[in-house]
Amino acid sequence: MTVSTAATSFDTTLSNLGIKRNSTSPTVAASASTTLGQSDFLKLMTAQMQNQDPFNPVDNTQMVAQMAQFSSLAGISEMSSTLKGISDKLGTTSVSDASSYIGRTVLTAGDTAYGRTTGGLSGAVELSGAASDVKVTIESESGAVVKQISLGASPKGTSTYDWDGLTAAGEDAGSGPFKITVTAQNNGATVPATGLVWAPVQSVSVPPGGSPVLNVAGIGTVQVSAVREIG
């Protein structure tokens, strides 16, 4: 039998099974229709058994090996699907999980902070690089500067600060809300800095087709993943 005749016979067998073989030259991006799935595998194996030479049947060892390959493929596909479902579940926040934040304070990126019941407030600064001079400016609701805190030299990462609630003149600044501004420089060069403030979570919203988000006083909506700490 010539190569051409064998190829034609193979194509005929596939055609009878409802499987179309791509006879054109292969391309870099093959279409999905040329991929053999589990059903195609079963059809080919069934055809192999039906068309085997009765005087030279398929070796039992080969048949068992093919069945083992098919079983392994099916198991891997099912396991992959299950793991994806678990991953998707772990990567999302449920409404009940988000609701547990209501009434609590969270540390997140923002410029509006509320004083503690005991007076003063605390916060943090996230630096993208080391800085030789980091300053935190605290303003009243009317925009008046009530305190400026110098953190001095700070390494890359998060640096915390605590304010006792007293103005530069030693007077009680009240409970706020306060506007927080952070600046950082490294030998005269500006270092990107993000201010982190403590603020209360008032409620939870669920946007259409999205994950629950926290409604934080003075800041607005905040993703649960953006919360650094919970008070």
Within a 10 A sphere around the Cβ of 19, how many other Cβ atoms?
15
Whether residue 130 lies inside any domain: the answer is yes
The pLDDT value given to residue 90: 46
Residues 116 and 12 in one domain: no
Domain shared by 121 and 221, yes or no: yes
Does this model's pTM top 0.75? no
pLDDT tens digits for 125-170? 999 999 999 999 999 988 899 999 999 999 999 999 999 999 988 8
**Domain extent for 114:** 100-230
Residue with tokens 């009243």: 140
Euclidean distance between CA atoms 199 and 166, whole angstroms: 19
Residue 121 pairs with which residues in a beta bridge? 163
Whether residue 19 is found in the same domain as residue 108: no
Residues 107 and 201 both lie in one domain: yes
How confident is the model over 101-133, as pLDDT tens digits?
A: 888 889 999 999 988 888 889 999 999 999 999
CATH of the domain at 202: 2.60.40.4070
Q: Is residue 11 part of a domain?
A: yes
**More confident site: 10 or 108:** 108
Instruction: Tell me whether residue 218 is in a domain.
Output: yes
* pLDDT digit string, tens, across residues 195-216: 999 989 999 888 787 778 889 9
pLDDT attached to residue 70? 67
User: Which DSSP string do the residues of 29-80 spell out, in sequence order?
Assistant: S--GGGS--HHHHHHHHHHHHHTSBTTBPPPHHHHHHHHHHHHHHHHHHHHH
Which residue has better confidence, 193 or 12? 193
Q: Is residue 108 part of a domain?
A: yes
The pLDDT of residue 3 is above 50 = no
- Which helix (H) or strand (E) element contains residue 184? strand 178-186
In a domain, 216, yes or no: yes
Tens digit of each residue's pLDDT (9 = 90 or more) over 30-80: 445 555 566 776 777 777 777 776 767 666 677 667 667 766 766 676 666
Is the domain of 112 the same as that of 217? yes
- Per the structure, how many domains does the chain have? 2
